[in-house]
């Protein structure tokens, strides 16, 4: 089922008012520091919400028979400005809530954004949520600029020049029981695509992100964390026309990813990997590592019955790695691996006096 256009969902005001007025014209309309209450008598009380600190401004609103057919305006106006401050919203998953200091939309500036947006777990969930995945997201700043509100309003096509996310923190706890309903349907992406068949972003920038992932699907939980993640992606396209049960149709032109100052234990739980910088570039495809260091961790140092491996590589480059074949065919095709001044040492089992080869 295709979503209705925002212009339709906003309400055909002309149909409603044509029996009473031939024309309605307002040069300037302003609500300052208002409140909006929404209450429903169906379902639990957390479906109700109150919006406070609301500012709403409309310039040159004109509704008549000709205006109803125009496609060069948004909701019969030249400009719309909406701002909401200090808001708390409880999500229907009964687990999470959203808070933010400021949300704004400006059609004259072609911008949309959040300041101090937080998705956190509720303290008073309405159901047993031990088996549900938990998410915590903190976004000090999220800004979409260069938005084509006209095409979004009339044609369900959301075109954005740039999305900038600064210093976000994302904390994910993966639980051990699958949901009957896919909780990802409540994701921000799904919300953004409710009224849009197609989303295009010219430039997407994520700056200095922090990711914490806790896997609680096993008897012993494991936690992974990565700090200082930055990425730049160009020409991102999400097309719901290619949407399946599992994911959206997703494409992009170029992507660059960088992670700084990272340390992690390898899956063998015996060795630790450190590097000062890890980067991936898609055009041309390259993987670069700086100051790579592999050495036994504290557990391995106590285990004299295991061989020990040490490696220091100041600079490493992998070129022309075929990502598609690696993912789809489990085939690793690499054109070249370059190691600059590597220092590698292996200490065999029960031979702690071994030297470099």
Q: What is the mean pLDDT of each run of 10 residues along the chain (357 residues)?
A: 48 60 84 81 57 90 75 83 90 80 94 94 64 85 93 84 95 69 48 66 95 84 87 86 52 89 79 92 87 81 70 92 64 85 85 48
Q: Alpha carbon of 79 to those of 33, 103, 114, 150: distances in Å?
A: 19, 17, 20, 11
Q: Alpha carbon of 308 to those of 122, 270, 293, 304, 338: distances in Å?
A: 46, 9, 14, 9, 24
Q: Which residues contact 136 (CB under 8 A, 6 or more apart)?
A: 118, 119, 120, 121, 169, 170, 171, 172
Q: Alpha carbon of 232 to those of 110, 183, 330: distances in Å?
A: 21, 28, 27
CB 294 within 8 A of CB 273: yes
Distance of alpha carbon 266 from alpha carbon 260, whole angstroms: 18
How large a percentage of the chain has pLDDT more than 90?
A: 35
Predicted confidence at residue 11, as pLDDT, reads 46
Predicted confidence at residue 77, as pLDDT, reads 86
Predicted confidence at residue 18, as pLDDT, reads 62
DSSP assigned state of 63: E
Helices (H), the chain: 6-9, 13-17, 65-69, 149-155, 188-192, 298-301, 323-329
């Amino acid at each position: 089922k295709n979503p209705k256009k925002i212009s339709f969902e906003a309400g055909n005001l002309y149909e409603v008012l044509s029996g009473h007025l031939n024309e309605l014209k307002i040069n300037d309309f302003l609500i300052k520091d208002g409140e909006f209450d929404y209450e429903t008598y169906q379902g639990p009380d957390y479906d109700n919400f109150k919006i406070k600190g609301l500012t709403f401004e409309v310039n040159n609103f004109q509704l008549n028979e000709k205006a109803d057919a125009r496609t060069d305006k948004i909701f019969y106006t030249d400009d719309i400005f909406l701002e909401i401050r200090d808001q708390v919203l409880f999500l229907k998953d009964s687990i999470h809530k959203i808070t933010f200091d400021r949300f704004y939309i400006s059609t004259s500036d072609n911008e949309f954004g959040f300041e101090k947006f937080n998705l956190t777990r509720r303290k008073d969930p309405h159901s047993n949520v031990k088996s549900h995945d938990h998410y915590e997201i903190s976004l000090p700043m999220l800004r979409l600029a260069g938005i084509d509100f006209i095409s979004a309003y009339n044609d369900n096509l959301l075109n954005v020049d740039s999305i900038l996310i600064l210093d976000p923190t994302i904390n994910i706890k993966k639980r051990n029981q699958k949901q009957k309903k896919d909780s990802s349907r409540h994701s921000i992406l799904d919300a953004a695509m409710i009224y849009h068949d197609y989303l295009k972003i010219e430039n997407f920038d994520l700056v200095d992100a922090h990711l914490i992932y806790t896997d609680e699907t096993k008897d012993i939980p494991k936690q992974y964390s990565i700090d200082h993640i930055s990425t730049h992606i160009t020409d991102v396209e999400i097309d719901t026309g290619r949407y399946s049960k599992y994911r959206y149709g997703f494409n992009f032109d170029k992507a660059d990813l960088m992670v700084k100052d990272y340390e992690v234990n390898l899956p063998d739980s015996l060795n630790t990997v450190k590097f000062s910088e890890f980067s991936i570039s898609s055009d041309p495809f390259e993987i670069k590592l700086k100051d790579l260091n592999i050495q036994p961790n504290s557990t391995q140092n106590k285990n004299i019955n295991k061989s020990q491996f040490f490696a220091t590589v100041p600079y490493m480059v992998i070129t022309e790695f075929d990502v598609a074949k690696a993912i789809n065919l489990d085939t690793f095709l690499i054109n070249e691996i370059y190691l600059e001044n590597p220092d590698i040492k292996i200490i065999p089992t029960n031979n702690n006096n071994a030297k470099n080869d």
